[in-house]
Chains A and B, each alone.
Chain A
């Protein structure tokens, strides 16, 4: 390419327990380039960027800067080498003013020169058109302004490579334009390297010169821009497979098991209006969308873990709006969260204790029968583990099997976040066999997945979440992965 090679990552490995978050990563970033780092949640991109910026250590591998191997521990040392990272939630001190935050990371003596720093701050802000009042407390700034402050702070520290993690989440359109202009200028005029970690394909398309894509801890491809959303989605999700024939809908009655009437969901980052949905017994509904587009909010709303700000939710014909999770449970819903050990299983308890927790209804637990029951369930669900094993010692696939065993046998509705997350192909297929078994018994299933193939294979209907909008796939018969990918990427949304 004829440019100076700035950063080289060689054979980077990082493991978190059984998860291989970064598996032999080799990447080169040239100066003056804006590179998008793409990948689904859990693909390992944040880990990689944290390693590069010193927030995390690697298990093995090397980082070379301008042809020399370097090693550093901690973000301060990384900054000294010219690499700075802008976290998703800016790491500033709320009680400090803008100027104080600007100063505190700077090396030097105990009496920082406020005057000099203030001039530097004003100069940098002016250059990029940032509006930063030096005396305003950071707690009063918007996320976009805090980001601007963090950028000028890192620049003042002499950073030559800027890493941004999901920078456009929660900022206004004007701030986004300012940010992108600033990044383009830094790359073009100052020959800085900019690495952009993002889910938002339109941002990547608007800004980047090239992209590198991670999937399950590995680099699965890179390409020079421009590229289309579809090309990027294909790289991210890795689909070459043709759509498989779907099972016929097995709904045996017209009564809705789950009905949403003009539901509005909102959190700090987004608002989704006007979701209406009727799910019949035995139906499987897939929720598609880039990570954090609202699928999980909807799933949680269906079981009472998330409050709807407007609208009504009925389960089996009963109005459940505003009811608690426990009341939802009593109507026969089951919920499975994506983070199994965070939400669902209790680390430190044995399998028998888990089973006893959900099955025993007397004051005194009959441990013998609980143990017997656990052994039956272990056999039935083919779990590799013993009744007295602690749940956290099991592999992810086996934990998921235990979660299935803990769910009621014939629930009215199952709401599942990424039911096959982190599972190998066999375990994933097995989980779906179980789910389809339950569906035959009339259970309706609503699930989210980052895996387009899984969505297309198992769903009777698919709902796509994108940028605060939901849209149901109209023509399931002729849906291709390409089309679904495009919808997820935000093309063809009627606004």
Chain B
């Protein structure tokens, strides 16, 4: 079917185009792009250890992206997802540093705390948006900064390590507070994988099969009409924020409870922003998320070896990412144009911010 292959092409095209541009750039600095891609491939899939690193990046990125699918469906630009991850990490850290419980209880409690932190932070964006008419992008950016400041304060103040204060990190968490890896060779948390699976399935089912999902979709496409049809649009938006925040909170919790084993500043590591990019790239089609996040995780994980092997900076992955952003925007433009000339096949998923509720036409 023409529509489907078109949509497929417009999803894959930006990735290919940005790979190509990056290759040209590598040649310009005098290196061999083939060698670079080989090294990246090796860096990602050389052995179980490197593959586990890819998965450890994939887990929080996929969680965040699935959360953002929910807010985007409701027409909301939840740029505050970074802060929601950060607060999830902070809340989980509090549990890890202060609670004395057997691991079987402690770990679920930590994850619930992470959800609470992220959900609360998202609820603030939601309240600003629905009650005080502060656009979610501005509210989100401000709350991102606040979350960051809060974590720096905690690290350099109340939670600083006993031996000499620093702003690097809290003391390492006790072993019982950490998520256990599946095996010494394959350092991936089974529990986290299960959670990711549950989140993916629940988000897809909720959006496709529930009244809540349909109400979100209607709110996202035309909040005014949805309201007139009896949809509680304010409540819809609020619930979308909270669900996304809770999922992002788990992702933040995962970063401290597994990846680092302590709380650090900027613990989200830009994964939230990357998640926004992923969801734009797949145009809110939830099924695509795990695959695209995997590609991202592999490229980013693999490029860490570039420096050692080729004296190229690992920020090359950042360059690739930058090109990808531009390519995605470009292909969205193309898609828009294609849609205009083919109105019969209006694309399933155009991203729109909801029209502000007008008092009167």
Interface residues of A (CB under 8 A from B): 267, 296-297, 300, 306, 325-326, 329, 335, 337-339, 341-349, 353-354, 356-358, 360-365, 367, 390, 392-393, 406
Contacts and interface: CB of A to CB of B under 8 A. Distances in A.
A348 B354 CA distance: 13
B205 to A, nearest CB: 9
Nearest to B215: A357
A325 B117 CA distance: 34
B289 to A, nearest CB: 21
Nearest to B355: A342
B350 interface: yes
A360 B230 CA distance: 12
A118 to B, nearest CB: 39
B325 to A, nearest CB: 25
B360 to A, nearest CB: 7
Interface stretch (B23-31, B145-153, B220-228, B266-274): B220-228
Interface in B207-254: 209-212, 214-215, 217-218, 221-222, 224-232
A349 B230 contact: no
B360 A300 contact: yes
B344 interface: yes
Given A326-B230, A358-B229, A343 B361 contact: yes
Contacts of A326: 230, 232
Contacts of A306: 360
Interface in B167-223: 209-212, 214-215, 217-218, 221-222
Nearest to B350: A348
Interface string B263-307: 000000000000000000000000000000000000000000000
A342 B346 contact: no
Given A346-B218, A347-B222, A365 B210 contact: yes
A292 to B, nearest CB: 10
Contacts of A358: 229-230
Kindly list the 10 A-B residue pairs having the minimum CB-CB distance in the complex, ordered from nearest: A348-B221, A346-B222, A346-B225, A346-B218, A346-B221, A343-B224, A344-B225, A343-B228, A329-B230, A360-B211
Contact of A364 (B210, B218, B229, B360): B210
Interface centre among A338, A344, A360 (most CB of B within 10 A): A344
A222 B227 CA distance: 43
A358 B227 CA distance: 11
Interface of B is mostly: helix
B336 to A, nearest CB: 14
Contact of A335 (B217, B226, B228, B361): B228
Contacts of B229: 344, 346, 354, 357-358, 406
B116 to A, nearest CB: 23
Interface in B309-361: 343-344, 346, 350, 360-361
A360 B360 CA distance: 29
A348 B215 contact: no
Nearest to B225: A346
Residue in A329, A353, A357, A406 with the greatest tally of chain B CB atoms within 10 Å: A357
A417 to B, nearest CB: 9
B228 A344 contact: yes
A199 B210 CA distance: 48
B209 A364 contact: yes
A105 to B, nearest CB: 30
A253 B337 CA distance: 58
Given A267-B360, A356-B214, A357-B230, 18 more contacts: A329-B230, A339-B361, A343-B361, A344-B228, A346-B221, A346-B225, A347-B221, A348-B217, A348-B221, A348-B350, A349-B218, A354-B229, A357-B218, A361-B211, A363-B210, A363-B212, A365-B214, A406-B229
A307 B231 CA distance: 20
B211 A363 contact: yes
Nearest to B346: A390
A365 B221 contact: no
A358 B214 CA distance: 10
Given A360-B211, A363-B210, A365-B214, A325 B221 contact: no
10 contacts: A267-B360, A326-B230, A343-B361, A346-B225, A347-B221, A357-B229, A360-B214, A361-B211, A364-B211, A365-B211
Contacts of A344: 225, 228-229
A393 B339 CA distance: 13
Contacts of B350: 348
B226 A346 contact: yes
Nearest to B349: A348
Most B CB within 10 A of own CB, among A345, A348, A393 = A348
B135 to A, nearest CB: 20
A345 B210 CA distance: 20
A161 to B, nearest CB: 30
A161 B344 CA distance: 42
A337 to B, nearest CB: 7
B193 to A, nearest CB: 27
A362 B214 CA distance: 12
A367 B214 contact: no
A357 B214 contact: yes
Contacts of B343: 393
A348 B227 CA distance: 16
A362 B346 CA distance: 29
A38 to B, nearest CB: 22
A357 B231 contact: yes
Contact of A353 (B212, B217, B228, B360): B217
A97 B115 CA distance: 52
Contacts of A296: 360
